[in-house]
Amino acid sequence: MSETTHELDVLKTTEAWAAEGRDLALATVVETWGSAPRPTGSHLVIDSEGNFEGSVSGGCVEGAVVAEAIDVIDEGKPKMLEFGVADETAWRVGLSCGGRIRVYVEKVG
């Protein structure tokens, strides 16, 4: 599956979940530095129960984004998240080669 197809699928899931009346947040990779597992424009949709579809990184970064997204759903205020690690810990948290990413999380609807 191409990156474009994958992102369209996530946005279709977002639309479908919104139609079901779920409270949602959409996380989007807005900037990357160095090596990052997902490119700018990658999406992750999260509902208030912690269900999610898509990917913005991997490892514990994804878990942190899901947790922050639930706060965004509850509070209604968007957040800009930044993740970066030193090379020696990069693989453990899911960012290869010391990459850094910025992820914008916003409530949908």
Higher pLDDT among residues 4 and 10, named by residue: 10
pLDDT at 21: 97
pLDDT tens track for 23-76: 999 999 999 987 777 899 999 999 999 999 999 987 778 999 999 999 999 999
Query: What band does 93 get if pLDDT is binned at 50, 70 and 90?
Result: low
Give percent of the chain with pLDDT exceeding 70: 80
* Mean pLDDT over the full length of the chain: 85
pLDDT at 102: 94
Walk across the sheet containing 79-84 and list its strands.
52-54, 43-47, 24-33, 100-108, 79-84
pLDDT at 1: 47
- Asked if residue 95 has pLDDT above 70, the reply is no
Q: Which of 108, 104, 106 is nearest to 29 (CA)?
A: 104
- The 3-class SS string of 12-71 reads HHHHHHHHCCCCEEEEEEEEEECCCCCCCCCEEEEECCCCEEECCCCHHHHHHHHHHHHH
Length of the chain: 109
